[in-house]
């Protein structure tokens, strides 16, 4: 509880004005992306240790986002983050054909409340009443509602009431989620960015890695590039990732640009073999990325980039939603499989990587259905207290890894890995990785 209060996750999502979210349409007003970012960094209370951002492809190259701030030299989003984050904070920015993000109600939640109030005002007007006080319940009504909630559960002790109150206070910090697909003509040049800042957590190590295939062949193969299937040994993988043999790799997020498929295949295979396939793996094919804390930021398209999470105080699970799932009603079963792992949600975060062809347009054949934010909405229905981030890509990387963590009934232990090795590269699918910081 103390760690949760002292080291909260902070996150921001910038999206176009008045488009559908998981909570309905939300108008974000006329605030510019630069103003939103400035306000966000004034809001955060945890010292940033890791910062991972996803943006629409053109954001990596744009220098007009911060023009109005009076700067004499234009800067990109990565250069801006480099200035605002402490030197000890690892930074990575991934661009793709669309983003997935969640807002933090402590900073952006007023947009949702304004939208609700505006909708209520419209309803009041249509119903012939102009009493705008109906937009917000009175203090007495809110008190009566709270008493009804407590009374519905029978007689509770003071400790149980305190737990419920604490849970409700924490839950309110996770706002709506949104998917912004750049493939849509209306969203092609949209301002879209999702960003999460992770503070230091005792017992958890997050490593951002940027691996060059050319450097690997130079260091380990004497510059010889073979057309045969690449095999990377565990020792070579540990050296590439700066891991010790005793480090347990709980989760691996991997972002590829399809520069060298043979190297990526060998890298992923080495990671899975190292952990006997007991690792939450997720990622996808992006357009480009920028990482590190150097003074020059050049978008990279010939490396692989990612985030490795190790340590005793991290729990992780992942699930693959295959291309065969084309009915939204079937998404819930995959979310429930994640839920069955028993990961604590109080300090949790999820990452979703989905195909650029698996968005709004893919659900249109289904009549009488809301086509926006389909998969993120299904996730938030099962995990209302977990923010989710990610992107739409041109291929997905991941496996289903559903460990069984200790539960209230005392059961524990890892589920046995299936004998058949699962494939890690997919098309027209969705990968969800769930992390929980203890």
Share of the chain above pLDDT 70, in %: 71
For 335-348, what is each residue's pLDDT tens digit?
A: 999 999 999 988 89
- pLDDT of 40 strictly over 50: yes
**DSSP secondary structure letter of residue 340:** T
The predicted structure's pLDDT at residue 412: 47
The predicted structure's pLDDT at residue 433: 98
Sole residue written with tokens 């480090």: 247
How many Å apart are CA 231 and CA 214, to the nearest integer? 15
For 271-300, what is each residue's pLDDT tens digit?
A: 999 999 999 999 999 998 888 765 455 666
End-to-end Cα spacing for the chain: 10
The predicted structure's pLDDT at residue 172: 55
- pLDDT of 409 strictly over 80: no
The predicted structure's pLDDT at residue 28: 60
The predicted structure's pLDDT at residue 128: 52
Residues 191-202, mean pLDDT to the nearest whole number: 93
For 369-397, what is each residue's pLDDT tens digit?
A: 667 788 999 999 999 999 999 999 999 99
Poorest-confidence range of 185-194, 244-253, 307-316?
185-194
Share of the chain above pLDDT 90, in %: 44
- CA distances to 19, 115, 303, 433 from 417, rounded to whole Å, are 42, 46, 31, 17
The predicted structure's pLDDT at residue 112: 58
Residues 63-79, mean pLDDT to the nearest whole number: 76
Coil, strand or helix at 437 = strand
Poorest-confidence range of 5-19, 43-57, 249-263, 291-305?
291-305
The predicted structure's pLDDT at residue 168: 47
pLDDT band at 368 (very low <50, low <70, confident <90, very high): low
Token pair of 276 as six digits = 């006997």
Looking at per-residue confidence, does 416 or 265 come out higher? 265
pLDDT band at 267 (very low <50, low <70, confident <90, very high): very high
Measured in degrees and rounded to the nearest 5, phi and psi for residue 212 equal -100, 125
The predicted structure's pLDDT at residue 296: 55
Give the chain's mean pLDDT: 79
For 89-114, what is each residue's pLDDT tens digit?
A: 999 999 998 999 999 888 876 655 55
- CA distances to 149, 221, 286, 297, 409 from 81, rounded to whole Å, are 43, 36, 20, 11, 45
- pLDDT of 116 strictly over 80: no
The predicted structure's pLDDT at residue 2: 40
The predicted structure's pLDDT at residue 148: 43
């Amino acid at each position: 509880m103390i760690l949760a209060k002292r080291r909260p996750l902070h996150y921001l999502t910038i999206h176009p004005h008045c488009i559908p979210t998981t909570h309905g349409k939300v108008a974000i007003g006329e605030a510019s992306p630069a103003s939103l970012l400035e306000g966000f960094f004034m809001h955060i209370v945890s010292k940033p240790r890791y910062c991972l951002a996803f943006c629409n492809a053109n954001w990596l190259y744009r220098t007009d986002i911060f023009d109005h701030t009076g700067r004499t030299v234009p800067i990109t989003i990565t250069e801006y983050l480099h200035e605002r984050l402490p030197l000890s904070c690892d930074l990575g920015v991934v661009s793709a054909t669309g983003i997935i993000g969640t807002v933090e109600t402590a900073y952006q939640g007023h947009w949702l409340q304004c939208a609700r109030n505006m909708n209520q005002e419209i309803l009041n007007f249509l119903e012939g009443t102009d009493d705008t006080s109906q937009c917000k319940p009175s203090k007495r009504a809110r008190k009566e509602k709270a008493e009804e909630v407590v009374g519905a559960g029978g007689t509770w002790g003071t400790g149980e009431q305190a737990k419920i109150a604490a849970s409700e206070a924490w839950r309110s910090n996770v706002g709506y989620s949104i998917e912004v697909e750049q493939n849509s003509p209306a969203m092609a040049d949209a301002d879209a960015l999702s960003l999460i800042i992770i503070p230091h957590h005792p017992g958890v190590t997050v490593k951002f890695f940027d691996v060059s295939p050319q450097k690997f062949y130079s260091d380990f193969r004497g510059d010889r590039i073979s057309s045969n299937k690449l095999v990377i040994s565990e020792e070579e993988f540990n050296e590439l990732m700066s891991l010790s043999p005793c480090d347990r790799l709980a989760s691996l997020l991997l972002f590829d640009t399809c520069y060298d498929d043979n190297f990526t295949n060998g890298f992923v295979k080495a990671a899975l073999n190292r952990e006997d396939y007991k690792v939450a793996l997720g990622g996808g094919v992006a357009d480009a990325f920028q990482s590190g804390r150097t003074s020059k930021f050049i978008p990279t398209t010939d490396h692989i980039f990612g985030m490795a999470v190790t340590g005793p105080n991290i729990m992780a699970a992942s699930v693959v939603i295959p291309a065969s799932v084309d009915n939204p009603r079937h998404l819930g079963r995959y979310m429930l499989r994640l839920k069955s792992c028993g990961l604590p949600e109080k300090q949790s975060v999820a990452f979703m990587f989905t195909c650029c062809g698996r968005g709004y347009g893919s659900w249109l054949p289904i009549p009488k259905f809301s086509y926006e934010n389909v998969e993120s909405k299904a996730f938030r229905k099962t995990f209302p207290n977990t923010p989710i981030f990610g992107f739409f890509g041109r291929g997905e990387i991941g496996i289903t890894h559903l460990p069984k963590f200790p539960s209230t009934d005392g059961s524990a232990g890892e589920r046995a890995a299936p004998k058949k090795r699962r494939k890690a590269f997919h098309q027209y699918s969705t990968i969800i990785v769930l992390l929980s910081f203890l």
